[in-house]
Amino acid sequence: MEDFYFSRRFVLKALLAGTATSFIASSHALAASASCSDKIVRVAGIAAPDTMNPFATWASFWPTTFTYDVLVGVDAQRHPDRQGFAKEWSVDDKELTWTFKIWPGMKWSDGKPATAKDVAFTYEYLKKSVGTADELNVGWNNTSGMEQVQSIEVVDETTLRIITNKPTRWPVDNTIMIVPEHIWSSVSQADARGTFRNDPPLVGTGPMIVAEFQQGQFARLTPNTHFRKGQPEIAGLIFRFFPSADSIAQGLKSGDLDYGMNLTAAQWTDLSKDEAIVVGQGRTEARNYLAFNTASGKGAGSTKALQDEAFRDAVGYAIDQKTIAERAFRGHADPGVGLVMPAATNYYSELKDIKRHFDLEEAARRLDAAGYKDADGDGIREDRDGNKFQLELITGTTSGTIETPLAAVQLVAGWLGQIGIPASVTQLDPGALDARTASPEQGGGSWDLLISGGWLTPSAPDLLVLGEADNTGNNSYWKSGEFEQLISEVKSTADIEKSKALVDKAVRLIYQDAPYIILAYPFMLDARRKDCFQGWGTADMFSMWSYFPFDRLKAI
């Protein structure tokens, strides 16, 4: 039989040729992937920045936080080696006038002087937009808190004075990135709010400057030759953006990445077995909670019991936060207690004297006492209107950038079932969850229970946001005049001790009224390779609030 086209020999040759080609293409000799010799740090996280304009978007935090400094911010108050634009700061006795000393001789990455004028420009840029159609209220750099600023005064090139209307910690707590006046003065507020993309190369005072940005892929940063503490030793940084942590874990294993964050517990455990990798975990300001829909009228849940403090309190006894932290988060979370998480060290309290303890029988007793009994003995309780409980528990897939394990949701639903309050779980994507948890006026509501989470700064007003009336972050729709009063006082207090006392009072109030049961404070799980760089430090390796101190990172 004549085989013109398809002789076995021909097939064999073709297969061999294909294999050889793929082998050659894959050889390390042609590899252009990561190696230690280029001294470029390769970092990855779950992020999706759309532009590099901090006035237009929140998503540009990574990587612009390496390029722009904040004036003081959270990190500088925690770590002596992580100051931002200001070297020192102080407040007068009346707690109204703040004085900031800017680093003397500091320069922008393009060599121009970076002075107090740039800080004043950035704040005025925001302040002037307040109340206009183009108010800069949509991005990371936003006008929130500006209403408390009475005046901003440039005393000299290295001295800035901010006078506030009332005592507030906003001048040191705000996270506004300081931008250069000589670049941004030609950008209108309307453009800054909307279409100005702030394409690289950027001009900043941070250690690493964004030199290239490929949307959906990576940002390439180069060392700031004018950095105030001297040019970082590393040759550059590549920050890769991923939609999920799978690729991050793979990249760490294959040696393509030096550092990765946003890992899941399973990936973290797997990576911890790799000898070339050091895993780490850090406390964050994230908190996961169970919220009750306390709305009455429009957007209310399926039963009025949700509006009853006694019902919510009783349910609180059926939630075992320790088990959630240990089993659902595999130990990578602190058990939830109150609104304040352990990472907010200034304000955290274990609430030992009023803390509920997991006790299903106690939960059942309290439900009975509050009038939510199982009259017909079928294992399902009835509310005061005689209707059987069948609650809808909605949840999303992530909390901030930390995944909420579905196991936590299942545990909660299981315990509720055991006390005679069955709950069906609906898992929604972020868009749908946002729509359903919007305020009733905006078409949200009509759910019963919600398991969600959030991640804000450890400043006092942010810690209390969950209970603030009419704030979009208040997912339980709970309102309390007393709590509002406390928030108002917190916002006009600069003294840390006074602030602590007010926060503690507010935290206790909302804990006892129980519109939320805090489930856990999840950790940020990260990992780094040992082979290329040293000096990562041990705690807070990658701060979520300002630049990572690249000046201390060295190639091996």
Partner 1 sequence: MSGGVRGPGGHHVGQVVFRAVITLLMVGVLNFLLFRVIPGDPAAMLLAGARSSVTTEQMQAQRQSWGLDKPLVPDQLVSYLSTTLQGDFGYSFKFRGKRVGELIIERLPETLALAGLAQIIAIIFGIFLGIYAGWRRGGVIDNLTTGTSLALYSTPPFWLGMLLVVGFSTMLGWLPGYGSYSPGAGDGSFLAGLIDRLRHLILPVLSVALGLIGQYVVVARAAMSDVVTEDYMVTARAKGLTNGQMLRRHAFRNALLPVVTLITLNLGYVVAGAITVEAVFAWPGIGSLTVEALNARDYPVLQGIFLLLGASIVFANLIADLIYGLLDPRVR
# residues contacting partner 1 (CB under 8 A): 79
| Of residues 537, 412, 496, the one with CA closest to residue 91 | 496
Provide, rounded to whole angstroms, the least separation between the CB of residue 53 and partner 1. 7
Pick 233 or 274: Cβ nearer partner 1: 274
| Of residues 289, 202, 221, the one with CA closest to residue 463 | 289
* Of the candidate residues 163, 438, 501, 555, the single one contacting partner 1 (CB under 8 A): 438
Question: Please, which of residues 194-253 interact with partner 1 by CB under 8 A?
Answer: 194-195, 197, 212, 214-218, 220, 236, 238, 240, 242-243, 246-247, 250-251, 253
Kind of pairing between the strands at 159-164 and 40-46 = unpaired
* Of the candidate residues 81, 429, 482, 531, the single one contacting partner 1 (CB under 8 A): 429
* Of the candidate residues 3, 156, 350, 531, the single one contacting partner 1 (CB under 8 A): 3
Pick 418 or 439: Cβ nearer partner 1: 439
* Of the candidate residues 231, 471, 480, 543, the single one contacting partner 1 (CB under 8 A): 471
Rounded-to-integer distance, Cα 313 and Cα 317, Å: 7
Q: Is 31 in the site for partner 1 (CB under 8 A)?
A: yes
Question: At CA 440, angle to CA 425 and CA 472, rounded to 5?
Answer: 85
| Of residues 516, 329, 304, the one with CA closest to residue 411 | 329
Which range binds partner 1 by CB under 8 A, 28-36, 84-92, 119-127, 364-372?
28-36
Evaluate whether 299 touches 439 at the Cβ level (below 8 Å).
Answer: yes
* Of the candidate residues 41, 45, 46, 51, the single one contacting partner 1 (CB under 8 A): 51
Rounded-to-integer distance, Cα 346 and Cα 459, Å: 9
Q: How far is CA 345 from CA 18, 77, 350, 493, 545, in A?
A: 60, 12, 11, 18, 15
Q: Is 492 in the site for partner 1 (CB under 8 A)?
A: no
Provide, rounded to whole angstroms, the least separation between the CB of residue 299 and partner 1. 14
Pick 205 or 395: Cβ nearer partner 1: 395
Question: Please, which of residues 141-200 interact with partner 1 by CB under 8 A?
Answer: 142, 144, 193-195, 197
Q: What DSSP letter does each residue of 252-313 carry, written as one string?
A: HHHTS-SEE-S--HHHHHHHHT-TTEEEEEEE-SEEEEEEE----STT--S-GGGG-HHHHH
Pick 242 or 389: Cβ nearer partner 1: 242
Pick 183 or 428: Cβ nearer partner 1: 428
Which range binds partner 1 by CB under 8 A, 55-63, 97-105, 352-360, 526-534?
55-63
Backbone angles phi, psi at 532, to 5 degrees: -110, -35
Backbone angles phi, psi at 101, to 5 degrees: -100, 115
* Of the candidate residues 32, 80, 186, 481, the single one contacting partner 1 (CB under 8 A): 32
Q: Helix 481-491 to helix 496-513 angle, to the nearest 10 degrees?
A: 160
Exposure of 555 in the CB half-sphere (CA atoms within 13 A): 14
Which range binds partner 1 by CB under 8 A, 254-262, 319-327, 350-358, 483-491?
254-262
Q: How far is CA 53 from CA 91, 364, 548, in A?
A: 31, 53, 20
Question: Please, which of residues 269-288 interact with partner 1 by CB under 8 A?
Answer: none
Evaluate whether 467 touches 461 at the Cβ level (below 8 Å).
Answer: no
Provide, rounded to whole angstroms, the least separation between the CB of residue 440 and partner 1. 11
* Of the candidate residues 87, 97, 113, 255, the single one contacting partner 1 (CB under 8 A): 255
Q: Is 266 in the site for partner 1 (CB under 8 A)?
A: no
Q: Is 25 in the site for partner 1 (CB under 8 A)?
A: yes
